[in-house]
Amino acid sequence: MCRFFTIKILTQREVLLFFLAANFLYIFPLVQADYFYNDDNWRTFATGENWSEEGRVVIEIFYNLISFGSTAPDLFPLPLFIAVVGISLSLRALTFFYFQRPSVVQCLVVLPIWYNPYFLQNLTYRYDGPVMALGMAALIYALIWPSDRVWRHVWGPGLLIGLALSIYQVFIGFFIALCCLEVIRLVWERKSSVWVLNFVARKFLAIGIGVLVYYLTAHQLMSGSRQVLLPMEVNSLLEIRDRLLSLQQMFDAGGTGGLRPLAWGAVVLALVGYVWAGVRLLLCPEQRWLKMLLLVFYVLSIPVLLFCIPGVTLLFAEFNGGARTFVAFSVLLVLIFFLCLRVLVCIHQRLGFFLFVPVLAMLSFSFSYGRILLLQKEQESAVLASLVYDITHSSLYEKNHIYLIPELSANWLPAASAAFAAMPVLKQVLGVDYVLMLGPLRRGGIADVYLARDRQVIASIRRGDHPSVMSTLFYDLYVIADSGYIFMKKVEGNPYAISELCLIADIERCR
């Protein structure tokens, strides 16, 4: 079997079937969970909308096309299935771009573009996630764009980059990271310095064209609040440093348990391959100034790639450090896989089979994450059922308007506490700190419910100035003047300890 995966050459059709099967398997837990994630709640009721104000007009166009209308109804999981087909086609093209006669093991090298654990949060968005995946596919084609003319080699990728930025602005970092990876790959393949430098120049031009196309089109529709950058001052540098430190803590949480030795082993192998290619570059028979210039790009490719992981989010006044911004992390994984495979194959051809180990670890993470989504969904459903019952059996039901005061730092999911303790990165990828938001209430039949915005009323409720109509573990109900208020509470206590107490209580009842 090891010989089959490492030696047997695959056709283009077989490679496509491999990626379709692998990619569908990875998103199966998300389809099974069928969870309404964050923005999905209000987008479902608004049938999309608001993408143009975010500078992401292509998402709106995509849903208008597949819904054959001017709105974006909830079509999940159809958009995700379309995304799987699109990304599979692009991964097949990238595989044959990297390897002329690929085997299954060589297909694994590019698989982390989809198997990126942090990208799971993007795919959890039933509206935005599938189109983001198609944006990544567009950027892959922008990287490998074939043309015998310079102007076509620049304008074609430039238009694809502009298209991708109109889906998700963070994709600029993903493409630059792909270019850094390509520089390292070309050096490993012993391409001439002129070849590599020409590639860098063409991609610089393509990026400039892509940014210009985006600025002249979708960017003009963006609201001003999403364009504010950090001011040019010393405090901004300190803010960027603090943001980087917080991101470092998130990545440190990803290498816990058995993943840590696996991750360090892969990094060491990749470093060996990186240094090896650099030494061969110095020994190649070319003009010294060309070698030194290429060496500068080769050395800078790693720090630039690492910076692209948080990317432009570091520069905006409104910082978003969620896992969904780490799309460029998949390129780092591909680089590690590529260098590891090269080193392992140099030792023995069949050692490339070991790439299946990290792939299985990523697949395991996806299924664990899917179970967490189900647990979150079950808890929300239980709280929702209780809340709807209490509202319909209290004086709130007679009020014309009901307002919700959410708790955005509830941090409460006892059923998943053991999984979070074993794999803290699961909690970071989930990114759900609330118990209940506005959308589920409307899905539960409470239509006249709105987000509370009167700061004086909110402050008075928090101070305890009003008696509650009903009080539970998760929420309090209030009637103030002619309006009802739902005050979501931050549950006190350790979820892990409480889940243990519940388990002990269940055992005692069985006795």
**322 and 381 inside one domain:** no
Is the pLDDT higher at 439 or at 493? 439
**321 and 435 inside one domain:** no
pLDDT for the residue 257: 61
**471 and 333 inside one domain:** no
Q: In whole angstroms, what is the distance from residue 211 CA to residue 501 CA?
A: 56
Q: Note whether residue 363 is domain-resident.
A: no
Q: In whole angstroms, what is the distance from residue 152 CA to residue 103 CA?
A: 31
Using a pLDDT cut of 70, give the percent of the chain over it: 92
**39 and 125 inside one domain:** yes
Q: Note whether residue 235 is domain-resident.
A: no
Q: In whole angstroms, what is the distance from residue 82 CA to residue 202 CA?
A: 31
Q: Note whether residue 163 is domain-resident.
A: yes
Closest CA to 257 of 181, 364, 145, 177: 364
pLDDT in tens, 75-84: 999 999 999 9
Q: Note whether residue 466 is domain-resident.
A: yes
pLDDT in tens, 388-402: 999 988 888 888 889
Please state the pTM of the whole predicted model: 0.92
At 93, is the pLDDT very low, low, confident or very high (cuts 50, 70, 90)? very high
**211 and 331 inside one domain:** yes
With beta carbons less than 8 A apart as the criterion, state whether 493 and 414 touch.
no
**330 and 427 inside one domain:** no
What average pLDDT does range 58-68 have in this prediction?
91
Do you know the residue count of the chain? 511
Q: Note whether residue 447 is domain-resident.
A: yes
Judged against a pLDDT cut of 60, whether residue 502 lies above it is answered with no
Judged against a pLDDT cut of 50, whether residue 511 lies above it is answered with no
| Residue in this structure with the two tokens 């990026």, named with its chain if needed | 207
pLDDT for the residue 82: 97
Q: Note whether residue 244 is domain-resident.
A: no
pLDDT for the residue 507: 39
Judged against a pLDDT cut of 70, whether residue 493 lies above it is answered with no
**336 and 439 inside one domain:** no
Judged against a pLDDT cut of 80, whether residue 428 lies above it is answered with yes
At 508, is the pLDDT very low, low, confident or very high (cuts 50, 70, 90)? very low
**201 and 75 inside one domain:** yes
At 253, is the pLDDT very low, low, confident or very high (cuts 50, 70, 90)? low
Looking at 298, 326, 347, the residue that finishes a domain is: 347
At 242, is the pLDDT very low, low, confident or very high (cuts 50, 70, 90)? confident
pLDDT for the residue 241: 82
Q: Note whether residue 326 is domain-resident.
A: yes
Is the pLDDT higher at 394 or at 338? 338
Q: In whole angstroms, what is the distance from residue 358 CA to residue 413 CA?
A: 28
At 255, is the pLDDT very low, low, confident or very high (cuts 50, 70, 90)? low
Domain ranges, residue 185: 2-224+263-347
With beta carbons less than 8 A apart as the criterion, state whether 110 and 335 touch.
no
The chain-wide mean pLDDT, for the chain, equals 87
pLDDT in tens, 175-210: 999 999 999 999 999 999 999 999 999 999 999 999
**12 and 155 inside one domain:** yes
At 243, is the pLDDT very low, low, confident or very high (cuts 50, 70, 90)? confident
Q: In whole angstroms, what is the distance from residue 84 CA to residue 111 CA?
A: 12
pLDDT in tens, 328-337: 999 999 999 9
* Amino acid at the residue 214: Y
Judged against a pLDDT cut of 70, whether residue 404 lies above it is answered with yes
Lowest mean pLDDT of 195-209, 284-298, 354-368, 432-446, name the range. 432-446
Dig out the tokens for 142 from the structure: 């922008």
Q: In whole angstroms, what is the distance from residue 436 CA to residue 446 CA?
A: 13
Q: Note whether residue 238 is domain-resident.
A: no
**186 and 312 inside one domain:** yes
pLDDT for the residue 384: 92
Looking at 347, 368, 393, the residue that finishes a domain is: 347
Report how many domains make up the chain: 2
With beta carbons less than 8 A apart as the criterion, state whether 193 and 347 touch.
no
Q: Which contacts of 225-231 are long-range, i.e. CB under 8 A and separated by 24 or more positions?
A: 225/318, 226/53, 226/54, 226/55, 226/318, 228/316, 228/317, 228/318, 229/315, 229/316, 229/317, 230/315, 230/316, 230/317
**214 and 301 inside one domain:** yes
Q: In whole angstroms, what is the distance from residue 442 CA to residue 421 CA?
A: 33
**383 and 332 inside one domain:** no
What average pLDDT does range 10-15 have in this prediction?
95
